[in-house]
Chain A
Amino acid sequence: AQSVTQPDIHITVSEGASLELRCNYSYGATPYLFWYVQSPGQGLQLLLKYFSGDTLVQGIKGFEAEFKRSQSSFNLRKPSVHWSDAAEYYCAVGGGQNFVFGPGTRLSVLP
């Protein structure tokens, strides 16, 4: 069965600072990996996905993520955070007949 862990419940960064959100997954085969963002009262918006190929994937809003098979990780990064990036971020793994979200990391941005 798949599982996803996001070690950081809450992260606070200053506007303009760099960001890295951690994600570790467990899945027996090559996983489909995703990062979603959820703003208060909103649905989930896809930031980026990894299916195969290049392990560094680019997404929307300046986000990128790197798939590292040896570490079972799919960390999300952004070089310079904007105040509008404050939200809840979810890593997810899909495969077979199941789709599993992590518990989420809440990002706060200081002015």
Chain B
Amino acid sequence: DAGVTQSPTHLIKTRGQQVTLRCSPISGHKSVSWYQQVLGQGPQFIFQYYEKEERGRGNFPDRFSARQFPNYSSELNVNALLLGDSALYLCASSLEGSGGFGNIQYFGAGTRLSVL
């Protein structure tokens, strides 16, 4: 069975541009979460979506947005990119999301975003 897949693997953008990252969850999983991992730090929670609704949001500016589609895949959008947005962006899926984070999350390999 396929795990969590993310695309693209690597991405280079310049300051001020916009970027869209994509995530396909494990088949049957209805919840997707996004994390930002800056080099040398632990991942930081950005969003959780369950059944196409936002169920949780971390401490990130409004430049960050996401959505979940009927097939449970998800996109993360970041507008007006800053140098500090350079990071590994991780997507995780879980079976459920209605109970908050009491479910096991399975992580993809991530998208490495470099902002120049």
Contact = CB atoms under 8 A, between A and B. Distances in A.
B90 A43 contact: yes
Interface in B81-116: 90, 92, 100-102, 104-110
B100 A90 contact: no
B104 A49 contact: yes
A101 B90 CA distance: 13
B55 interface: yes
Contacts, number: 60
Contacts of A42: 109
Interface residues of B, number: 25
Given A32-B102, A97-B55, A103 B108 contact: no
Contact of B42 (A43, A49, A51, A90): A90
A59 to B, nearest CB: 12
A11 to B, nearest CB: 16
Interface of A: 4, 32, 36, 41-46, 49, 51, 90, 94-104
